[in-house]
């Protein structure tokens, strides 16, 4: 399996290196892989690439963690309280329908060119898939199981920790997988709208200067951040949900 992936990667690099020239695509449209690599080395030396990457990665992780916690808490509250769901669902639905990236300019007006607009956009984007998955998992629990536990004098806290929380974990991690990729989008949008640091800033700078290779390098670094976060979620999921059939097989 690994050999097949490596072979496909080599074919991809070869097509990227020689494909544009063979098809007549100019380098300022799709630069060859060697040009992108040279741009990567130049950005390491002159453009503080790793500094900007670290800033974006930090904001992604913080936004992801805060959005995860908020989504999990709200999901459990709405799932366990039909009254709370009835009262809050119209407002949550309205917030969900509104394009989350459209809030980035508003956050910049409120908080200025700081880390807060980027993190808040990431929190909004991460919140919804986590909340919806947790809410759906709690709703799907068989009420007979809950009644059976209560018939054995189980407290509300015991019902939550022994039944509702374990049942929500598989959908919760499924939501985290989706949210891991969306968090990167949220931070980058915030950096593009109002930022002077981070990969979003380099992306805007490369686009403004017509440096396509620089844009490609920035996109690759953003992709790496997303892959690392997604891989971390998968590793944690495999450890936490090791009791599920086939959990330790490659996802």
Q: What is the pLDDT of residues 115-130, one digit of tens each?
A: 888 999 999 999 989 9
What does the longest C-alpha to C-alpha distance in the chain come to? 75
143-168 pLDDT tens trace:
888 888 878 778 878 888 888 888 88
111 pLDDT tier (thresholds 50, 70, 90):
confident
Structure tokens at 16: 């990227």
Looking at the predicted structure, is the pLDDT value of residue 227 above 70?
Answer: yes
Average pLDDT of the residues of the chain: 86
> Does pLDDT of 247 surpass 70?
no
**All residues at 6 or more sequence positions from 112 whose CB lies less than 8 Å from its CB, including other chains:** 194
Judge contact between 199 and 188, C-beta under 8 A.
yes
pLDDT(203) > 60: yes
Give domain limits for the chain: 47-240
Q: What are the tokens at 245?
A: 């059939």
**Residue 249: what pLDDT?**
45
Q: Is CATH 1.10.3720.10 what the domain over 47-240 is classified as, yes or no?
A: yes
| Residue among 60, 82, 24 nearest 198 (CA) | 60
What is the predicted pLDDT for the residue at 251?
A: 44
- Please compute the mean of the pLDDT values over residues 176-202 and round it to a whole number: 88
- Give the integer Cα–Cα distance in Å for 166 and 168: 5
Check residue 245 and give its pLDDT. 64
pLDDT at 238 > cutoff 90:
no
pLDDT of residue 246: 56
| Per-position DSSP letters for 44-96, written without gaps between them | HHHS-HHHHHHHHHHHHHHHHHHHHHHHHHHHHHHHH-HHHHHHHHHHHHHHH
Return the minimum-mean-pLDDT range out of 100-114, 120-134, 214-228: 100-114
- Give me the helix-helix angle, 212-240 and 33-46, nearest 10°: 90
């Amino acid at each position: 399996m690994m050999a097949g992936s490596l072979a496909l990667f080599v074919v991809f690099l070869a097509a990227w290196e020689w494909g544009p020239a063979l098809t007549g695509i100019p380098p300022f449209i799709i630069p060859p892989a060697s040009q992108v690599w040279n741009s990567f080395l130049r950005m390491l030396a002159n453009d503080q690439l790793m500094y900007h990457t670290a800033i974006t990665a930090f904001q992604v992780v913080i936004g992801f963690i805060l959005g995860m916690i908020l989504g999990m808490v709200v999901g459990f509250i709405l799932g366990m309280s039909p009254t709370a769901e009835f009262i809050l669902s119209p407002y949550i639905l309205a917030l969900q329908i509104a394009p989350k990236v459209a809030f980035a300019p508003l956050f910049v007006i409120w908080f200025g060119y700081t880390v807060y607009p980027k993190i808040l956009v990431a929190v909004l984007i991460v919140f919804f898939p986590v909340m919806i998955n947790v809410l759906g998992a709690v709703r799907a629990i068989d009420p007979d199981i809950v009644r059976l536990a209560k018939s054995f004098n189980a407290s509300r806290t015991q019902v939550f920790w022994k039944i509702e929380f374990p049942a929500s974990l598989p959908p919760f991690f499924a939501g985290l997988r989706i949210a891991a990729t969306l968090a990167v989008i949220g931070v980058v949008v915030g950096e593009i709208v109002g930022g002077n640091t981070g990969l979003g800033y380099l992306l805007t700078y490369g686009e403004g200067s017509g440096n396509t290779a620089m844009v490609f390098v920035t996109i690759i670094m953003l992709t790496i951040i997303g892959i690392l976060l997604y891989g971390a979620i998968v590793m944690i999921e495999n450890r936490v949900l090791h009791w599920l059939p086939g959990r330790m097989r490659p996802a």
